[in-house]
Structure 1
């Protein structure tokens, strides 16, 4: 027989279903956190931060209310303030104002949650150095965050930010700022006040231009602006003198940016709309090691590609290049050359599969096979194998681009008539036979770049060099300099000075490794008083 049903029978579980279970943290974790100052609550499925976490350093521990003796490891009165709180990979939708009860926090990790806003109380965490807010749903950043004077790292990638507060520039100690994967269309002008910044990530936003205020970021070493809507790069970016890595992939650039940044080693401009490489842009890349140009529309490589004598990796994958200049093989440090996806002619496909060294060897062979009496076409400049007496001077380059290139020849002097080139800005004389700094160059005050690497230069006159007030790049690497005059440190316009590969004893290698500024400071310290 079945039990009779009662119409008024109560649901015996109803009380449990209605009651909300309070989120708690295992007591052992809290006890350990009082000793170490670190509390890791990542990946625990939390929908809110338990109240006892906020009150960790306020409430009296349970041990204090028990009538027991304490060992050395259980002295609750010697607890440490919480300095590191990890709450990543939970389901937090909000953060309570009670966060102010943890003023000793140095690291606060809230990444990978569901936060759509932040409490103004965050501004009271004045000891905070690292704030990780990536992978949330933030649409704005509270102004109070900009008052955190000790903040060094701010991670905001993968949010919904459309703008940033102008007060951002108050974060005077910020060294790393990640704003990637947001909806930013512009940047606050105060960004230029972040003078301690070393890494700035702006990729995957909606930026159509970069503000000139970036030029004030003299310590930024890495700048990532990939996957935006950029059509050009402002010339002011060249004032970012410490920049070593620049990412400009997946934009709408039609020209290689003109960036005479003296420390720039890695330049990524793949997936743009670049159709040609111009000498003026190439001449600026005096320290370039890696140049990525893949997935563009480049049809030809200019002979001036040989200006990049520090280049070790060149990626030209998926362009429209049909012919390779033989002079490409004269790049002294090139180790990797990527050419897949180009409609190359005159080079067997099996040769391309043998690797860079075999391809460069083949191109060098083509230089040797060129007939010595082959006449030049009217639209061709001299090649790397042209003798100085036969070379054709490219007047267009001198008048329009203000650049003169005479590398890989047998020059030992320059004619005094060159002093008439009053608008010449850049001259390349690498791999010649100069035994001294060319006399006429001291008279061309418009010069900004002088490349004299791999010659036999044994001296330079710093007093006359100081008159070249626009000279910013001087390459004297791999010469015969037995002594570097201390007065060279007074050439204050120099931003890039290359002296490697010379037989001098001072400055020492350790000083040289610190860069141009350190070398110049050292030289000034050696000037007799």
Structure 2
């Protein structure tokens, strides 16, 4: 809201006094402002609440002087969902406010007469029902905005001689002739937006000489609107209409930007003489480009049926943006865009030849999924990135004329060898993707540098010839390669090389030992590597051997590998032999195997993943020292041996979820700090005290727990457990900062206030609406509470100093206790709130700094915008 701080009250006082002197019998009854004296009164209690809350005057009479003084002192405010007023049913009294903007949401206003002759210049309504608009005829409104409104006759709005911008969207309008048809004569109107309505036709030619922008998208128009009476119109949006007839646009001299996306246009002949700069015709039924305006700089024609007229684009010398994707263009002959330097999209057409395409400045060309047999004839000397995937290209013809090429994507074509790369003259490439081509052999590869090579599913049986290339990374997934020895002669350049030969029948990787470096990542997922002794030859960053059918890992018995991360997940390993020395890796993944027990020295310093096995015996972890240990989804029933033999370092991440644990007494032996301990989804009925350990995150969810012993834990989750009282877990709460007990059958919360460090509490769906025991917690600064779907009906016990309360999905009707809430954000979605009982508290809360409130439903919610009283 903008405040009239230039004597609005004085104007009212002078006007009212003059009326009394002249009539001698009181103010004139037909002027709303006359009713502001001697006191201001409101027919709608909701409006009075808004005003009194805004100026902090809940007692005593309201006068124009008092309202103006306090309103002006507050400066601009926001309110509810960026609106000043919410849920109004009447406006009497609003004429006494120093308003220049009226913004109302979810209001039902049958009588707008109090607005007559007020100083309001901007009128905004959202989700409103408005009666007769006649009172707006004489107001100085310059902007009228209605979204999702119910409106009657629009003629009074059109008769307003001040309005410069009208926006009525998503309001079900059908007849708009008073605004944009033959009945419209609004000489001062600059912008008109009627998008998202039900307009099927516009009758007659309007007189709108000043309109610059017209928005009619998402309606039911079958013909363009008559624009002859809009000489100043520069931008027109007709998107998402079943529109085919463009004749009403013909000859318009001022139109510069036109968008008709998602329509039914078949002919663009009517646009030929327009002086357009930007034209968007995506998603129509155009077959022939036709004689489009030659001054275009931006042209979007994707998703049509274009098969003819592409040569006419050559007549647009200033074109900067061009999109012809997903059409039926068979040939590019005659397509010349000499100054176009952006991205040219021609994918998903019927192009069989690029001969005649002249694009000397284009940097990025996309020709994907065209029936192109060759790129011969390509005239694109500045091209840096070429994508012609899914075509029928059989070679590299045409690339020699693009000396700046850095990335070439030719996957899914018919290229049968690399000999054609010699035409590039040995120039290096950043990327070459020839995946899913019948390459067959690399013997014709020229000597050149390619930083990233992709040859996935390329029918390769041999790497002979690859020695000619210098590469940083190579992916040759899904071939029939068995011999890697040619790679021993390849020069690997750059850093962090990735060598991926997944899903090849490779068993011997020793040739790579000569070229792999300590920053190399070797990936052989789904290969045939079963002899792990060859890993002793490597000093690399990582080796990935998932899904190789590995059964025997005795080849690793000597340990001391030079590999930082080794992934053996999803094999068939059932046992681990004893190691002579430590394995030597920093990270080891053995998840998804068939292990039932572990052997000594199979530990690592950083991360050990043993998830998804059948482990029931943890004695093999004797002496383990690891930062991250994952034992989830195994067959563990107790932890006694484990915690007796394991050595835990500080800040351990330990995952024991998804086992069959019934006894956790072994936890009592832990003597270290644990960052996260996940015991969720087991069968634990009790958690013992852990007197010598500290845990940052403790997850016990999904256990039939009824009690938790003393533990120094910062964040405790026990969602869906069987806890019936806080007393059963009180010993565990001494250090808890965050606690989630959602889904527990809590009969009592007594004692929870004893959690002296608690800052965040979640009690969703606990089956009780009595949260009175939380009062001491809610008085703490910064406290947050989530108590959703608990049948809470009274919010009073929850009002305190809390910073955030989520009470969604309860039975709260009355929010008046929030009047005394000095801080905090309240989430009250899906509560049956009685607005009349609650509005004062809601508005007051919305006007305070650093607070917020959200109500309504998931589908339609309302919230506060925090005001900035910069002039206070």
Deviation string, structure 1 residues 30-50 (Cα, Å, up to 9, x no partner): 555644623321435242356
State how far apart, in whole Å, the 2-side matches of 1:201 and 1:106 are.
Answer: 22
Q: Tell me what 1:363 maps to.
A: 642
2:545 equivalent to 1:269: yes
In structure 1, the partner of 2:434 is: 156
Q: How many residues align?
A: 314
Which residue is 1:487 aligned to? none
2:366 corresponds to: 87
**TM-score, normalization: structure 2?**
0.32
Match of 1:293 in 2: 568
Residue in 2 that maps onto 1:40: 344
Distance verdict in 2 for CA 1:177–1:148, change over 3 Å: same
2: CA distance, partners of 1:25 / 1:205: 46
Q: 2:488 aligns to what SS in structure 1?
A: helix
Superposed CA RMSD in Å reads: 3.9
**Partner SS for 1:288:** strand
Is residue 326–residue 367 contact of structure 1 (8 Å, CA) maintained in 2?
Answer: no
User: What is the CA–CA distance in structure 1 between the aligned matches of 2:399 and 2:490, rounded to whole Å?
Assistant: 28
Within a 5 Å distance, the mapping from 1:215-254 to structure 2 comes to 216-219=490-493, 221-254=497-530
Give the whole-Å Cα distance in 2 for the aligned partners of 1:29 and 1:49: 25
**Contact 1:221/1:242 (CA < 8 Å) preserved in 2?**
no
Inter-partner Cα distance in structure 2 for 1:249 and 1:236: 16
Q: Is the 8 A contact 2:416 2:438 kept in 1?
A: yes
The verdict on how the C-alpha distance between 1:309 and 1:229 changes in structure 2, with shifts beyond 3 A counting, is closer
**Within 5 Å, which residues of 2 pair with 1:469-484?**
none
Tell me if the contact between 1:123 and 1:148 (Cα under 8 Å) persists in the aligned partners.
Answer: no
Higher strand share: 2
Say if 2:616 and 2:635, in contact at 8 Å, map to a contact too: no
Q: CA deviation at 1:184?
A: 0.5
- Contact residue 248 and residue 270 of structure 1 kept, 8 A: yes
CA contact (8 A) 2:487 2:511 kept: no
Judged with a 3 Å threshold, the aligned counterparts in structure 2 of structure 1 residues 359 and 249 are, in CA distance, closer, same or farther, namely farther
Cα distance in 2 between the residues matched to 1:164 and 1:292: 30
2:359 to 56, 62, 72: 56
2-structure distance, mates of 1:205, 1:166: 18
Tell me if 1:338 matches 2:610: yes
- The residue number in structure 1 matching 2:473 is 199
In 2, the alpha carbon distance for the partners of 1:337 and 1:305 equals: 21
Separation in structure 2 between the aligned mates of residue 360 and residue 288 of structure 1, nearest angstrom: 29
Q: Distance in 2 between matches of 1:253 and 1:138?
A: 30
Shift of 1:25: 7.5
Q: Is the 8 A contact 1:163 1:186 kept in 2?
A: yes
Give the match's secondary structure for 2:593.
coil
1:103 to 375, 381, 385: 381
The question of whether the paired residues in 2 share the 8 Å contact of 1:243 and 1:264 is answered with: yes
Q: 1:95 to 1:103 in 2, by over 3 A?
A: same
Give me the whole-angstrom Cα distance separating, in 1, the residues matched to 2:312 and 2:609. 56
Using the alignment, how far apart are the partners of 2:310 and 2:585 within structure 1? Answer: 60
TM-score normalised to structure 1 length: 0.51
Deviation per CA, 1:193-235: give whole Å up to 9, x if none.
433x111101101112212433543437100011011122224
Structure 1 residues 367 and 97, CA gap change in structure 2 (3 angstroms): closer
1:358 CA drift (Å): 12
CA distance in 2, matches of 1:286, 1:167: 33
Cα–Cα, structure 1 residues 39 and 174, in superposed 2: closer, same or farther, change >3 Å? same
Task: Select the structure that is richer in helix.
Answer: 1
Shift of 1:94: 2.2
In structure 2, the gaps of 5 or more residues are 1-286, 289-306, 322-336, 620-629, 648-872
Is 1:264–1:285's contact at 8 Å kept on the other side of the alignment?
no
**1:81-480 paired onto structure 2 within 5 Å:** 81-82=361-362, 84-99=363-378, 101-111=379-389, 113-118=390-395, 120-143=397-420, 144-145=422-423, 147-168=425-446, 170-171=447-448, 173-189=449-465, 191-195=466-470, 197-214=471-488, 216-219=490-493, 221-256=497-532, 258-259=534-535, 264-278=540-554, 283=559, 285-289=561-565, 291-304=566-579, 307-319=582-594, 321-328=595-602, 330-333=603-606, 335-342=607-614, 344-346=615-617, 352-353=631-632, 363=642, 365-366=644-645
1:169-210, Cα deviation, whole Å (9 max, x unpaired): x11x31111101111000123x23433x11110110111221
Deviation of the 1:276 alpha carbon = 2.1
Shift of 1:114: 2.0
**Is this contact kept in 1: 2:569–2:589, CA < 8 A?**
no
Structure 1 match to 2:224? none
Q: How much has 1:150 moved relative to structure 2?
A: 2.9
CA distance in 2, matches of 1:338, 1:193: 42
- What is the 5 A alignment of 1:20-39? 21=308, 23-24=310-311, 26=313, 27=316, 30-32=319-321, 34-35=338-339, 37-39=341-343
TM-superposed CA distance for 1:324, in Å, is 0.9
Distance 1:29 1:305 in 2: 74
Unaligned runs of 5+ in 1: 1-15, 58-80, 369-529
1:511 paired residue number: none
CA separation in 2, counterparts of 1:188 and 1:175? 19
